[in-house]
Structure 1
Amino acid sequence: MAAASPPPSRRNGPAQTPRLGRPPLIDRATVVAAAVDVGFEALTATAVAGRLGVGLSTLYRVFPNRTALAAAAVEQVVASQDWPPAPQHAGPGWRAFLAHTTWAAWNLYDRHPGLAAEVASLAFAPPSLVAVAQRSIEVLVDAGFAARDALLIVDMAGELALGPFLLARDLPAAPAPAPGPGPVSDREDLVEGPIWQSMSVLDRVATQRRQLLSTTNPVGDGPVHDVFAAVIHDDPRHWLQAKLDLFLDAATVRRGMSPPVTPPAAPAARGQP
């Protein structure tokens, strides 16, 4: 006859009762990481669930809908970006700081196709992006800008970083061949699908514009056409830098100036005095 099992020892406290139910298959961090891996252009609940090997019902226990999932993924990539620190002396360093911050945003949007559209569509800005903007405003105020001007400049810098990537929202999965001589198989100006998918967002936009310029002449002939063609065929980042330089030159003029007058009130509704 087998010996009876000894009773559980209570030397270290009462015996542990086994937990009922299965442990969770996924957690919030795992889902967010999978969403970032899938990419914002292809981000759907179905795609993320497939990446994790779970059902939609399991995914929805963590995030109730795609909007919440996208917001968490946006916050993840924005928070992980290497944003420049505030300068020790804001007076001479504000311009370089704002330029580096704008470039950091450009590079972030360029590395994550579809991120710009997600940021633009969110009801509330990601907390990490709000923190970047707040730090930038404080740097400008410390450098002698009026608070209103500082807010305006930072807001415009954000739009300058965001704008080029919003142009890519309606780009096709691969560019269609533009009309041209010769059979399509012999055309050298075409970009194959796999190459297109590996290109950055800015390079995709530039490629589309180059194909457009090869078939149309939107600015006529003359010096403007020559400049336009040179810009289209140049690295798009050079044109972005030119825009940023012009913007910062204009912002420098506002430094130390008195705040502008309050804008006039909106006109009264029709039929009211």
Structure 2
Amino acid sequence: MKEKRKLETQVGRPARISRDEIAESALSLGLDSMTLKKIAAHLGVDHSSLYRHIKNRDDIISMALDKAIIQLDLEAKTDDWKLYLSHIAKSLWDMYSRYKGLAATVRSSEQTPTTFIEAFAKACSNLESFGFSIEDAALIVDSIADMTADSASLWQRLETADASGNKGVEQLSHSWKKAKKPDTAKHVDHVLKIISEDPQLWWSKKLDLIIAGAEKYYYR
């Protein structure tokens, strides 16, 4: 594909790329580190070719967010509302795990993409069908969405190495070990254990806590 584009450029033809391909490239490269030059190189086209399809970097991010969010599976395939909440939470976690930098981009965005609003409304409506009020459904879905985005963005940031090659998780562990004293030892050791484990394990426990709280709203 890239060789074909290079040949087309050589004979004076405009490279055949689309907005969808640009968005996919941005997601593949990582929204936290992608640049227009990196996307152009990834697609095998000249940097200026991108401007035939997009306005600026923000336009690419908007496209990438839409492309990622429409992949969410929010269908209610169970009669158990707890399983449904676990399902949509796992769908969110998988999306953020698949696309590096997406969670941080969502959390830092000053505007909410229309696709995200539509996904939020769909999840709430499905939860309402189980018997939750619109207010409670919105609170629960929002809590899961916020917690999942925060957890995913934090752990991805901790797994990123700095200029010296040191990962954030190593620095975090060091700060806890440094503060370890007799009266804090057991708690420090517990946190160090959490840091060393698969981040999805701690995220899943937070999810269980939210679902347990949601049960209070279900029966009130």
TM-score for the superposition, normalised by structure 2: 0.79
TM-superposed CA distance for 1:114, in Å, is 0.7
Q: Match of 1:243?
A: 206
Q: What does residue range 82-101 of structure 1 map to in structure 2 within 5 Å?
A: 83-87=73-77, 89=79, 93-101=80-88
Q: Which has the larger share of helix?
A: 2
Structure 1 spans left out of the alignment, 5+ residues: 1-20, 178-192, 197-203, 258-273
Q: Match of 1:165?
A: 152
TM-superposed CA distance for 1:31, in Å, is 1.9
TM-aligned CA distance change 1:57 to 1:163, over 3 Å: same
Q: Match of 1:136?
A: 123
Q: Match of 1:12?
A: none
Q: Match of 1:10?
A: none
Q: Match of 1:121?
A: 108
Paired letter, 2:61: A
Paired letter, 1:86: A
Structure 2 spans left out of the alignment, 5+ residues: 1-11
Percent of aligned positions with the same letter in both sequences? 28
Q: Distance in 1 between matches of 2:211 and 2:78?
A: 20
Structure 1 range deviating more: 245-254 or 221-230: 221-230
Paired letter, 1:245: D
1:87-126 Cα shifts (integer Å, max 9, x gaps):
353xxx1111111211221122122221112212334333
Q: What does residue range 177-196 of structure 1 map to in structure 2 within 5 Å?
A: 193=165
Paired letter, 1:63: I
2:21 is the alignment partner of 1:30: yes
TM-superposed CA distance for 1:53, in Å, is 3.1
Correspondence for 1:45 among 36, 39, 56 = 36
TM-aligned CA distance change 1:226 to 1:52, over 3 Å: closer
Structure possessing the higher radius of gyration over alpha carbons:
1
1:122-146 Cα shifts (integer Å, max 9, x gaps):
3433344333322221122122212
Paired letter, 2:62: A
SS at match of 1:174: coil
TM-aligned CA distance change 1:255 to 1:25, over 3 Å: same
SS at match of 1:26: coil
Q: Distance in 2 between matches of 1:23 and 1:232?
A: 49
Paired letter, 1:255: Y
